Every structure is written in C-alpha cells, then in structure tokens.
Chains A and B, each alone.
Chain A
Amino acid sequence: MSLQLVFDALSLGGIYAIAALGIALIFGVMKLVNFAHGQFIAFAVFALIVPSANAVATLGIGALPAPLLITLVLAIGAGLAVLAERLVFRPLRDASPVSLMVASFALGVMLQNLLLVTYGGRPKAVSLWAGLGAPVPVLTAQVPLLQLIVIGAVAAILAGLALMLKRTRIGLEMRAAAEDFGMARLLGVKANVVISGAFALSGALAAVVALVLVAQTGVADVRMGGQIMLVAFIATVVGGMGSLPGAVAAGLLIGAASALLQAFLPPEARPFRDAFLYGLVILVLLARPQGLFAPAGAKPRV
C-alpha cells in the first residue's frame, strides 16, 4: 500500500512538475505568466486526431508508430509556442507584465475556440497506447507501466534540461537572461534566440504533458489542460517565480500532496481535497512569501 502510494504520488507530481517547468521557463526569460499553456496542452492533444466535428474521432498522427508520433507532437507543441511568441508576444515585448498576461489569456481563449470550431464541443475518444495502463509488479506494489514511464521520462527530461542549461551556449544565455535580461543583452545575448528557444522548450513540454494525459485518460476535450495549467502556475509561485528547480520541486510536492490527501483524508472530507491542497499552498506562501526557492533577483533590493 505505502509503496503504491509513492508511485501514485510521484507520477502525478511528475506531470505537474513538467507543466510547471513549461511555465517557469517562459517566466524566467520574459516575466510572462503564459496562461495559454493549458491550451497549448489541449492543442497538442487534438493534434493527434484528424480535424472533424464528427462524434467519433479518427486518429491521424495518433495512429503513427510511437517514435514518429512523439517527435511530431513535440514539434507541433514547440511550433505552436514559437508561433505564438512571434505573432503575439514579440510585438508586446516592451509591454508591462500585466498586458502580457492579458494577452496570454486572450491567446488561450482564441486557441480554445479554434479547437471548438474545428472539433466540436463533445469530448473525443483517443485510445493511445492502451497497453500502458496494465499493472506491472514492482516489489510489493502493482504499478501501471505508464506511471513508471512518466517517472522515468520526468527524470530524463530534468536531467537533459539541467545539462542543456549548464553545458550549452543557449543554456548559459537562458540562465543569464533569467538573471538579468537587460545586462545579458548588453553582453551580446540575442534576445530573440533566447526567447524563441524558451518558448520552443515550453511548447515541447506542453506536448509531453499532453501525451501523458491522453495515454492516461484516453480522451481529448477542449477544456483539458486548464486544471493542470492552474496547478502548474501555483507550483511556479510556490517554487519561487523564476526558479526552474523551484518550479519542478513545487510541482512534485503539490502532486504528492494531492495523492496523499486523497489517500488519507476521511471519506467525508475527501470531496474537499483541493480545498485542503490549496490551504496548504496558502500556508507555504504565508511562511515564505517569495516561494520555497526564490531566485536572488526576486528579493526586494531595499
């Protein structure tokens, strides 16, 4: 039971961590909280099926072999994010963070309505990799294969990203831009390259979340992604705005807390699980208003 719970907690936390990372990456380089991230996820989900308002969905990309499918969906997620940056956020680069946030809301609403018009309002069945739900014995627990894959993928993505940020030029530039964007530009960092790169990564991470969600639930719905976006946003705040490790850690923590509350709350209190969860978030923020891992730049200077 307890080991089972560890896997439940890690896999849910892993999904939230990846989503939170997608938001934190963009916030880091341009102080934009991208509220369209949830719709990026939904868009990547719907990319799997042939556009049609018919009740029964036909798989398009979703019918391809896994390596090709994953590559294509990641590319679509990244492409969408880069396109959004180019068309919406680049012209607004000098605007205030509030204007940027409102623009991201607008983009989200637009994307959702685009999906509604193209695919209709009814949820659609997308049976992607149905075999992944089968339980595999791990020591004393029965763990769905998908949970193991999610946990493994999260670890791989985090390691890869850490390497990229520490060892590559674009990574160095991104970290520099996150630290002090103005100074980084003065020192020769190309703003467009860094920001486009962050958007591409963020979009690809949204696509990862989309694939996990679809494999888990078997459904595509225009409203999906919204709940994850909310949790991910909260995770970036709890982790400390602008801190990538903070976002990941807080995403994991929130997912784990959610799974633990579900397991240990008495039945009468369980319908209010999310109220308890967000209550905990408030407690954390009261204790550490800057978040758990606030970057140096976020602290008031006076």
Chain B
Amino acid sequence: MKRLALPLAALTLAAPAQADITVGFAIAQSGWMEAYDTPAATAAQIRIDEINAAGGLLGEQIRVITADTRTDRAEAARAGLELVDDGAQMLVVSCDYDFGAPAALVAEGEGMNSFFLCAEDIKAGVQGVGPNSFSSSVLAAVQGATMAEWSYARRDARTAYVLEDTFIEYNKGICTGFDWMFPRLDGAQIVGRDTFVNDDASIASQITRIRALPEEPDVIMLCSVMPGAAAAVRQIRAAGINSLILNGSAVDGSYWLGATPGLSGFVVPVQGSIYGDDPRPEVEAFNAAYEGRTGSRPASQYAYPGYVLIDLWARAVEAAGTVDGAAVTAQLEAMTDAPTTFGPRSFSDALHHQNTALMQIIEITDGTPARVDEWRISEPVPMSVLIAQ
C-alpha cells in the first residue's frame, strides 16, 4: 500500500488541488493515557467542525489526521514524524508533558506549532519544547494559588496542612503555587507538611502525623492525582479528619466519588463546570455539543482545553494569514486576555501558558459536586516561582 501511495503523493504535490489545512493529532488512542487524550481531542474536533462549517480557516477546510502514541514516549516521536510526513502543518500532542513532548519536539524541529492537549507544566512551552509550543490549559501552580487565596477569602482558612504526592511534576506544581500564595496572606500559616507516593498501599503514617497536630488544620492542600488522590481522601475522611480538602483540577469529575460515600468539604478549581451549573451559557452549550457527539457529557474539565487550543490557534492563523509556525507564534504571543468560552487567555514571548486564570470553584457536598464560586488570583504567579518548581 505504501509503495502505491508514493507516486500518488507525487501527483498530488504536482497539482495543488488539495489546498486543505492539515492538523495532525499525535495522541494516545490506546493505553492508559487514552482516557485523558480522547475527551480533549474530541473537543478539539468539535471546534474544528464549527470552523469548517463557518467557512473554514483562511478560506480552506481543516483536515484532521491522527496517529496513535500508544501511551509510549518512543511511539509518540514516531507518531509525530508520521504525521509530519503525511503533511500535518500543526501538531496537537498528548495531554501530559512527558508523553506529548516527543511529538512536540518533532513539530518544533520543522518550525511548526504544537499544542499540548492539556499540559499544565511550564516545560510544555518555551522553557521545555521550544518557541513554537503552547498549552491552553492553566498552570498547576495557578490552581494551587487559586485554592490558597479562595479558601482564605471565602472560608476563612488560616491554618493549612500540605500533603504532596511525589508521583508527577503536576502535583509539585500545585503545591508550589499554594506554598507561594498562602503564607503571603495576612495571618495565614502552613502548620505542617508531608509527602506520600501515589500508589502507596496505605497513608496511615501520614494520617497519624496530621492527627498529632494540636488542632485540626482549616484546610488540607492535597497535591495529588488519581488514583492516589481518591485513596488519600478516603483514608483522611475515614480517620475522622474533617478539614476542608483542596486539590487541583486533575481530580475534577464525579466518577471517583464512590470511593468515599457521602464526601463533603472537597474543593477543586476548574476551567468550566461539567455539572450543568456554569454561569456562562456557552460552557453549557459546549457540554451539550459534546454529549451530542459522544453520547455522554464530559467526564471532567479536561475536554475544555482541547476546544480552546483550536480556537486560539485558528484565530492566530487568521491574523497571521498563514500556518507558518513563527508567524502564528507571534500572533499568539500578542494575545492578552483574549476571550474564549472558558475564560480569557494570554500568551507572551516568555510564557506559553496561563499564569493567572478565572477559575470556577467546584465543591463536593454529600457526594454531589456543584459550582459554588469563581476566583481569579489577585496577581499572576511570578516567573521565579514557576521556574523554581
């Protein structure tokens, strides 16, 4: 088949009849990462379909080609190369930095733009992959800082305990943001901290330490992801500790709540609410469109960055008049509080991420999640904090 395709490809090159714009998706279609990549990729496809229906990009239709990374770093690099060979002009890569970077580096080598589906690590951009790589999601440190300032202002949190899961960089990022913001607030104090590992069979020792505190802390900043986060919450509540538990966006979704029946006092910041109670009608319109396409509503907020990334990239392409990486990057870096369905987004030549964002606050009460508030941190997380993490 490949041999047959070669002369055909030569033919199409000679005749520029096929003038589509091609976006390549180097994402996990198998392996454990698939559960995280598919929702965001579906959301990206929804935005692409909207753009195509409205006349396309630069007057041309956007064509999507996909290669499976199989949740494997080596396969991710191969998938990136395959898509570039097949004519991709921009690469959308796996959600996580570690699994997306190999393909993003291929794009960078070709002078093309790459977007991570939902990476929240500063390395997924100028600092790691290179000058043409972006993520539309919100940095982990911003999520931690948002939890610190919101719980201080709205729940009178004055004492905090930090429990960090050392499994991945994302967890460290949440804790870094919390550690930066919370002690800055007048009268607020971090009274203790501890670490655990995501797949620890038990965190009994860590709980013993919390219980040994003279007073139960107002909040516990849990910097963790599934499945360790659900396990930690279950064990903390089972031990009779009733502090408000805060976490990052990564644990959004109700699929894990069965692990702690009747859970209350658990709060996460998200980019938009999947629970049908977001005050912005366009968010609910997206949820409905997503349900129309897949048969079910998004399982967590991580579908949203996929929609936003295509939205922002397409706008920058229209402004630049080309899909050339450097030209589009210049347009993206000029964006300051560009409105999107899920809140304003900004990029600069120093940062291809969000160091501040309007976040919706989701609180779980009696096992039911609901949006209770929204919050934007009073100042962006400084670069020194982001780099130091």
The interface of chain A, by Cβ under 8 A from chain B, is 1, 4-5, 7-8, 11-12, 15-16, 55-57, 116, 120-127, 130, 132-135, 142, 144, 147, 212-213, 216-224, 226-228, 259, 262-263, 267, 270-271, 273-274
Q: Which residue of A lies closest to B30 (CB)?
A: A116
Q: Which of A121, A135, A217 contacts B240 (CB 8 A)?
A: A135
| Residues A218 and B226 in contact, CB atoms below 8 Å apart | no
A218 and B202 contact, Cβ closer than 8 Å, known pairs A123-B226, A130-B238, A271-B166: no
Shortest distance in angstroms between B201's beta carbon and chain A's nearest beta carbon? 5
Least Cβ–Cβ distance between A19 and chain B, in angstroms: 9
User: Once the chains are docked, how many angstroms separate the CA of A212 from the CA of B235?
Assistant: 13
A120 touches B235 (CB 8 A): no
Q: Does B194 contact A (CB under 8 A)?
A: yes
Given A11-B204, A55-B299, A125:B256 Cβ within 8 A: yes
Known A-B contacts A127-B260, A221-B227; the reply to A15 vs B202 at CB < 8 A is yes
Residues of B within 8 A of A126 (CB): 258-259
Q: How far is the CB of B184 from chain A (nearest CB, A)?
A: 21
Known interface pairs A56-B255, A127-B259, A259-B205. Does A122 touch B238 (Cβ–Cβ under 8 Å)? Answer: no
The distance from the CB of A53 to the nearest CB of chain B, in whole angstroms, is 9
- Whether the Cβ atoms of B234 and A8 lie closer than 8 Å is no
CB pair A5–B259 under 8 Å, yes or no, is: no
A116 and B31 contact, CB distance less than 8 A: yes
Contact among A121, A130, A142, A270 for B194, CB-based, below 8 A: A270
For A274, what are the chain B residues with a Cβ–Cβ distance below 8 Å?
197
Question: What are 14 A-B pairs with beta-carbon distances under 8 A?
Answer: A116-B30, A116-B31, A121-B34, A122-B35, A123-B226, A125-B256, A130-B238, A130-B261, A217-B259, A219-B230, A227-B199, A259-B204, A263-B208, A270-B194
Closest 9 pairs between A and B when the two form their complex, measured CB to CB: A133-B238, A218-B259, A125-B258, A217-B231, A123-B227, A121-B32, A121-B35, A55-B255, A262-B205
Give the chain A neighbours of B197 by CB distance below 8 A.
227, 273-274
Query: Across the interface, which residues of A come within 8 angstroms of B32, CB to CB?
Result: 116, 121, 222-223
Residue of B195, B202, B227, B257 ringed by the most chain A CB atoms within 10 A: B202
| Contact (A217, B261) CB under 8 Å given A1-B212, A135-B240, A270-B195 | no
- Pair A12/B261 contact, Cβ less than 8 Å: no
Contact A121 B260 (CB under 8 A): no
Interface size on B, residues (CB 8 A): 47
B33 at the interface (CB under 8 A from A): yes
Contact A273 B259 (CB under 8 A): no
With A1-B208, A130-B238, A217-B231: A223-B259 Cβ-Cβ less than 8 Å: no
Contacts of B63 in A (CB 8 A): none
Q: Using an 8 Å CB-CB cutoff, how does the interface string of B150-180 with A read, 1 for contact, 0 for none?
A: 0000000000000010100000000000000
List chain B residues, Cβ under 8 A from A223: 32, 199
Using CB atoms, name the residue of chain B closest to A225: B199
Taken together as a complex, chains A and B put the C-alpha atoms of A123 and B228 apart, in Å, by: 10
Q: A130-B260, A144-B238, A270-B195 given; name 12 further pairs at CB < 8 Å.
A: A116-B30, A121-B31, A121-B32, A122-B35, A125-B256, A130-B261, A134-B238, A144-B204, A217-B227, A218-B258, A221-B226, A227-B200
B18 CB, min distance to chain A CBs, angstroms: 35
| B35 near A120: Cβ-Cβ < 8 Å | yes
CB neighbours (8 Å) of A227 from chain B are: 197, 199-201
Are B258 and A122 in contact, with the CB atoms below 8 A?
no
B254 near A: Cβ within 8 Å? yes
Q: Encode contact with A along B11-55: 1 for CB under 8 Å, 0 otherwise.
A: 000000000000000000011111110000000000000000000
> In the complex, what's the smallest C-beta–C-beta distance from A291 to chain B, in angstroms?
23
Q: Measured between alpha carbons, how far is A142 from B33 in the docked complex, in Å?
A: 39
User: For residue B33, which residues in chain A have a CB less than 8 angstroms away from its CB?
Assistant: 121
